[in-house]
Amino acid sequence: MAEKSENPEHNDRRIDYVEFNVADIAAAKAFYGSAFGWRFTDYGPNYCEFDDGRLKGGFTDFGPVRPGGPLVVVYARDLEEVLTSVQKAGGTICRPITDFPGGRRFHFLDHDGYELAVWASA
């Protein structure tokens, strides 16, 4: 299995990041820090990135808690190209391309209704 590269360009179209909508970011940090030893970087009051030493992800309180699963995030070198590919494959764009600190992203629903996101570096 290929190792994850720290260079996002080498991770084109691979799962890159996982986000959890949580009710309480501080409680999530306390739990995962205690249970697994994850490290954290806060990006304002509504977002915290975690790092397990191999994969990074985030805790956010922007949306409702979804116990059914976290948001899987895929990296893309060319965001518009991948958005077109998702649409051609039958995916439904549920959140258009938006900017965030460090990049841009969009969300889509697959044919089963699973929501995923795709992001690109700024």
Query: Phi, psi at residue 79, to the nearest 5°?
Result: -60, -45
Same-domain pairing of 64 and 80? no
Predicted structure pTM score: 0.68
Claim to verify: residue 120 and residue 65 sit in the same structural domain: no
CA distance 37 to 39: 7
| CATH assignment at residue 106 | 3.10.180.10
Looking at residue 50, its pLDDT comes to: 95
Based on the fold, state whether residues 15 and 64 are members of the same structural domain: yes
Per-residue pLDDT tens over the stretch 71-88: 989 999 999 999 999 999
The SS3 of residue 51 is strand
| Number of other residues whose CB lies within 10 A of the CB of residue 53 | 9
Residue 9 and residue 26 share a domain: yes
Q: Residue 16 is part of a domain; what is its CATH number?
A: 3.30.720.120
Kindly state the DSSP code that residue 2 receives in the 8-state scheme: P
Residue 28 has pLDDT above 90, yes or no: yes
Instruction: Say how many domains are in the chain.
Output: 2
**Where is the domain boundary, 42, 69, 96?**
69
| Confidence class for position 1, pLDDT limits 50, 70, 90 | very low
Domain interval for residue 40:
1-69
